[in-house]
A = this chain, B = another copy of it.
Amino acid sequence: MKIALAQLNYHIGNFESNSSKIKETIIKAKDSGAELVVFAELSVCGYPPRDFLEFDDFISQCNTVVNDIASVSKDIAVIIGSPTINPDVKGKDLFNSAVFINDGKIVSTHHKSLLPNYDVFDEYRYFEPSRKSNIINYNGLNIALTICEDLWNIGEELLYPYSPMDDLINQHPDIIINIAASPFNYDQRNIRKDVLSKNAHKYYIPLLYVNHVGAQTELIFDGGSLAIDSKGNIVEELNYFDEDFIIIDTNSLKNNTSTKEDKPIEDIALIHDALVLGIKDYFNKLGFKRAILGLSGGIDSAVTLVLAAEALGSENVKALLLPSRFSSQHSIDDAIALAENINVPYETIHLDDAYKSFGSLLNPFFKDMPFDVTEENLQARIRAVLLMAFTNKFGYVLLNTSNKSEAAVGYGTLYGDMCGGLSVLGDLYKTQVYELANFINKEMEIIPVNSITKPPSAELRPDQKDSDSLPDYDILDKILYNYIEKRQGPKELVAMGFDEAIVKKTLRLVNMNEYKRHQTPPILRVSPKAFGMGRRMPIVGKYLS
């Protein structure tokens, strides 16, 4: 049987756009001779719909789209994802379902059994888990239809006491189909391929996997849909970070001998592509075109600018240079050199007049108190006021340029450099930002090498260096990674060889700065544990702080 895999970029709640994309693709599949076309999990409404699911009107619109799609699906079968209503008075109101449509009619609806409820996932907030699974028989093919997490309860540690495939395999399926919404992080591509291959291998039948592609605020869906033969070999791997469509002949998966060469992709290349897509979709889906950012001559704003120009076009990005009395000439030169390298228009505003004016308003109260973090923050906040004035007057969106190391230890000014509609680098440690800068410069010097090699500085007081306040990033980032991504506690970190005093100071900074991170923009997620919806910490908590 010929089955089409449709890897599309949906928009949460945009029923009109999702529905017309799906319908166009059904026609394309039919024209290509497919007997069945498969779309991703919750494709009619986009993923994750979050608390929109609590509105009857939203569910009713999903239902309308499903019926509408069914009515146009003549002479072809379709699998789409949609929330459906749980008719039982017991349990949550909804199921996360895969709807099987054939020749204009809804034939059967299959509910997700395993509901991810960790990290960025909240599915048990909305959905009742299914406790029974039935295969589909379509034109002689027995299909075990599963939804994303349904196939992930495999291996040593099992998160769920029940696996739907244990039921389904007894009904003698010929193939597994899995519709998914699996967001990117730099580990995910390999883990996902491994988990899905293991399933095909374990049950000894081919597997077709259809993922989302496209960013929904912080979550970037990377696509990479798969066709896997019954030995667990990957036969087809769809595009990453782009829509894709393919026809698979299931016969070719049964006694397959050819496998697709597994081309390893560098993490940093994946991260680069993810961030560009993340910026692009944030603007597209919100209906904005143009970005602005403060360009300091440092590495973070340099990398953000390059990514923004790639995503939106140089002509749609504006750089503001906002030097204060503490900015060095070489920083200004580096900023200008970069903007000119990539043809991004820029303007310069010296903020000293505003700084002086605040000084005269505040001096009657501050009197002879010495220069401290107040005056540092003041400069950062004046920059934010200027940038936001540009966004209001001209309709830009401000891009935030903070990195994960700074966000972790609170090395940033709330309502100053922590402003913005979207944080581009907020899930990359400083050392990863350097890696990304070098990746960008691989072919030619786009980012002035001076921005990469000079010691990092906020330039908010004379001769300031990040290393005055923070451990070296080489050390700091390793401690942060092991604490944040790997959930290692103070004892484990010291046992790994990190200095006890530095560990203690670092963890304390991370935990006591939760209040700052609470107010930051959404951060494009590229790691397995990003600040934001996937990491939920008490603000007034007192633990290691």
Query: Footprint of B on A, CB under 8 Å?
Result: 11-14, 17, 46, 48-52, 54-58, 89-92, 117-118, 122, 124-125, 156-161, 215-217, 281-282, 285-286, 347, 349, 351, 353-354, 356-358, 360-362, 365-366, 369, 372-374, 377-378, 381-382, 384-386, 388-390, 392-393, 414-415, 419, 421, 487, 489-492, 515, 518-522, 533, 535-545
Q: What residues on B are CB-neighbors of A537 within 8 Å?
A: 50-52
Q: What residues on B are CB-neighbors of A117 within 8 Å?
A: 117, 122, 124-125
Complex Cα gap A484–B56 (Å): 13
Q: Kindly provide the distance from the CB of A46 to the nearest chain B CB, expressed in whole angstroms.
A: 7
Complex Cα gap A363–B491 (Å): 56
Q: What residues on B are CB-neighbors of A159 within 8 Å?
A: 90-92
Q: What residues on B are CB-neighbors of A520 within 8 Å?
A: 519
Residue of A286, A362, A519 contacting most chain B CB atoms (<10 Å): A519
Whether A372 contacts B390 by the Cβ 8 Å rule is: no
Whether B90 contacts A543 by the Cβ 8 Å rule is: no
A365: nearest chain-B partner, CB-CB = B347
Q: Kindly provide the distance from the CB of A131 to the nearest chain B CB, expressed in whole angstroms.
A: 9
Whether B354 contacts A538 by the Cβ 8 Å rule is: no
Complex Cα gap A215–B160 (Å): 34
Complex Cα gap A360–B286 (Å): 32
Complex Cα gap A142–B501 (Å): 51
Complex Cα gap A14–B545 (Å): 9
A539: nearest chain-B partner, CB-CB = B217
Complex Cα gap A54–B157 (Å): 16
Whether B536 contacts A122 by the Cβ 8 Å rule is: yes
Whether A415 contacts B384 by the Cβ 8 Å rule is: yes
Q: Kindly provide the distance from the CB of A16 to the nearest chain B CB, expressed in whole angstroms.
A: 9
Q: Which of B282, B421, B540, B544 contacts A217 (CB 8 A)?
A: B540
Whether A385 contacts B365 by the Cβ 8 Å rule is: no
Complex Cα gap A518–B218 (Å): 12
Whether B11 contacts A89 by the Cβ 8 Å rule is: no
Q: Which of B50, B51, B357, B538 contacts A13 (CB 8 A)?
A: B538
A60: nearest chain-B partner, CB-CB = B489
Write 7 A-B pairs (CB below 8 A) sorted by A numbering: A55-B487, A56-B489, A122-B536, A285-B540, A349-B361, A373-B392, A378-B385
Whether A538 contacts B49 by the Cβ 8 Å rule is: yes
Q: Kindly provide the distance from the CB of A539 to the nearest chain B CB, expressed in whole angstroms.
A: 4
Whether B360 contacts A377 by the Cβ 8 Å rule is: no
Complex Cα gap A346–B55 (Å): 46
Complex Cα gap A118–B377 (Å): 38
Q: What residues on B are CB-neighbors of A358 within 8 Å?
A: 354, 385-386, 389
Residue of A11, A89, A393 contacting most chain B CB atoms (<10 Å): A393
